[in-house]
């Protein structure tokens, strides 16, 4: 059976994570641990997940010419991800995410230093045009320049072959002409609030906000609601998918 061809245009960040007995207040130093270092970033996570599910995956992005960039390249190769269009920056560090995880509640605080991710430019995307427009699905997020996301969405839309899926995180405002060309978006509650300028507390309020996004032109919306599950909305129907109970270890990337 032919594999689905999935292209990710997006971010790679090295995750630097430590557990802490509580999330520190302003000016507070907390003794925590253990410390873990590993590959991450929204784009990289999309690529790894798609590859492990059996797709043919191509990653278009940028890392630094440093130790963390070497970790990135080795991890992509290990995960059987094509990196022909992984740019190596000689002026910027590999993207990094500094993550604190509360040992009791598993809640987290994250600071992302995007570094080389901001060097993903139109030239790189144009060099990879043939790969992008021949894909079955193109996955995007907002840890890279919004200009590049908009450029790729337009390219995919005009190809009349691939579909684009956007994880609008971290939350940013996009122009209506972009939403009209996106096949599916996957906001969480706070991102949907930013997109629609609505306060969302209940599942019903999330559905109304998702319907507003549909009215702008997006074909499908999946709203992730944490422990409350997810909401799948399109012009035909709304489906609520409840979550199931698990013991929380770490909500990073969950």
Q: Which helix or strand (DSSP H or E) is residue 71 part of? A: helix 67-78
Q: What is the CATH number of domain 186-254?
A: 3.40.1620
CATH 3.40.1190.20 spans which residues of the chain? 5-22+32-170
Mean pLDDT along residues 225-254: 84
Distances in whole angstroms, Cα of residue 215 to Cα of each of 108, 179, 232:
34, 10, 15
CATH 3.40.1620 spans which residues of the chain? 186-254
Q: Encode pLDDT of 61-100 as tens digits.
A: 999 999 999 999 999 999 999 999 999 999 999 999 999 9
Rounded CA-CA distance 6/117 in Å is 20
Q: Which residue carries 């509650």 as its tokens?
A: 189
Rounded CA-CA distance 63/68 in Å is 8
- The SS3 call for residue 80 is coil
Q: What number of H helices and E strands is found in the chain?
A: 8, 13
Indicate the pairing of strand 238-241 with strand 230-234. Answer: antiparallel
pLDDT at 248: 75
Instruction: Pick 5-22+32-170's CATH classification: 1.20.120.420, 3.40.190.10, 3.40.630.30, 3.40.1190.20.
Output: 3.40.1190.20
Q: What percent of the chain has pLDDT over 90?
A: 74
Rounded CA-CA distance 200/219 in Å is 21
Rounded CA-CA distance 229/244 in Å is 8
Q: Encode pLDDT of 124-133 as tens digits.
A: 999 999 999 9
Q: Which two tokens stand for residue 246?
A: 């698990």
């Amino acid at each position: 059976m032919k594999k689905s061809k999935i292209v990710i245009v997006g971010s790679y960040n090295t995750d630097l994570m430590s557990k802490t007995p509580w999330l520190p207040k302003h000016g507070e130093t907390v003794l925590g641990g253990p410390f873990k270092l590993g590959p991450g970033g929204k784009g990289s996570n999309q690529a790894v997940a798609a590859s492990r599910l059996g797709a043919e995956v191509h990653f278009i992005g940028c890392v630094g010419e440093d130790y963390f960039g070497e970790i990135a390249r080795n991890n992509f190769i290990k995960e059987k991800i094509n990196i022909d269009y992984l740019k190596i920056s000689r002026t910027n560090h590999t993207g990094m995410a500094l993550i604190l995880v509360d040992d009791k509640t598993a809640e987290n605080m994250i600071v992302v230093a995007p570094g080389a991710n901001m060097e993903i430019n139109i030239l790189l995307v144009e060099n990879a045009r043939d790969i992008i427009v021949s894909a079955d699905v193109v996955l995007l997020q907002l840890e890279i320049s919004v200009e590049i996301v908009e450029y790729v969405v337009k390219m995919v839309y005009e190809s009349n072959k691939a579909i684009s899926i956007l994880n609008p995180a971290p939350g940013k405002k996009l122009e209506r002409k972009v939403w009209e060309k996106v096949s599916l978006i996957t906001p969480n509650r706070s991102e949907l609030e930013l997109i629609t300028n609505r306060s969302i507390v209940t599942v019903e309020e999330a559905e109304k906000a998702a319907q507003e996004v549909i009215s702008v032109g997006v074909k499908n919306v999946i709203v992730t609601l944490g422990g409350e599950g997810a909401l799948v909305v399109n012009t035909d129907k709304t489906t609520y998918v409840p979550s199931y109970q698990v013991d929380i270890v770490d909500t990073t990337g969950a």
